[in-house]
Structures are given as C-alpha cells and as structure tokens.
Amino acid sequence: MKKEITCIGCPMGCRISAVLDENGKIVSLEGYTCNVGKKYAQEEFTVPKRMVTALVRVHGQNRPLSVKTAKPIEKSRIFDCLKQLESCTVILPVHAGDVVVPHVCGTDVDIVATREMY
C-alpha cells in the first residue's frame, strides 16, 4: 500500500511517500530531505503523534488556563485526552510547566501548564 503525507518538520512541507506492507510496516520511504523529515515520516506512517494544546477550567474563574502535552501523544488519543481535561479543574496559582494532569489517558505523557496564572 502506498501512502503520502506532508512533512511538517519545517515550513518546507515536503511531500513524503511510503510503501507499507500488510502489517503497516514501512517498506520504502521517499521524498524527505532531512533527518527530521525522515523521523517524522517514520512515525507519521506508523504511529502518528501530535502535541495537544488545550484549555482547562480554573476554579472560581471563567477564564481558562492554557496547557499542553509535555510530549506528543498518539493522534488517535487526542479526543480522549481532551475528554479527560474537561473534568479537570486547576486551583491558582499555576506556573508554566506545572503538571496539571499526570500520565494523561494512561500514557506516559503529562499535561503541563503553558502560562503563569495568579
């Protein structure tokens, strides 16, 4: 099976194509122009991952806190992750980098605050 993706490693946006076998293993890969692109393509063709940035409830406020996954998580888990964040409430003060939810959705990835809020 042949698949094509757009590399997002940099603004170049290289088109990378891969031939995959029936188990989803990459047989051949072409179109990348750097190691970042190669690595991205290998992951994107097998286990695509995304950084997730989101908003969470702050106790006593309408204004939300911005957060992110400390590392990319599997693309297929994005909405599970958002779902889990819906039920989360943080109490101020919060500092950038503070862990808001550890091991989101049972992964090894923490949700951390991306800003200060007092």
Out of 96, 99, 102, 103, the only residue in the binding site for another protein (CB under 8 A) is 96
Q: Which of residues 40-69 bind another protein (CB under 8 A)?
A: 50-51, 53-64, 66, 68
Nearest-approach distance from CB 74 to another protein, in angstroms: 12
Instruction: Count Cα atoms within 13 angstroms, Cβ side, for 103.
Output: 3
- Out of 75, 84, 98, 107, the only residue in the binding site for another protein (CB under 8 A) is 75
Compare residues 13 and 102 and give the one whose CB is closer to another protein.
13
Token pair of 28, please? 């051949």
- Return the structure tokens found at 61: 């406020």
Q: Min. distance of Cβ 109 from another protein in angstroms?
A: 13
Least CB distance to another protein at residue 11 (A): 5
- Site membership for another protein, residue 39 (CB under 8 A): no
End-to-end Cα separation, the chain, in angstroms = 52
4/53 Cα distance (integer angstroms): 26
- Cβ burial of 73 (10 Å; 0-12, 13-18, 19+) is buried
> CA 59, CA 45: separation in Å to the nearest integer?
40
Of 12 and 19, CB closest to another protein: 12
Q: Under the rule (CB under 8 A), what is the footprint of another protein?
A: 5-8, 10-13, 50-51, 53-64, 66, 68, 75, 78, 82, 89, 96, 114-116
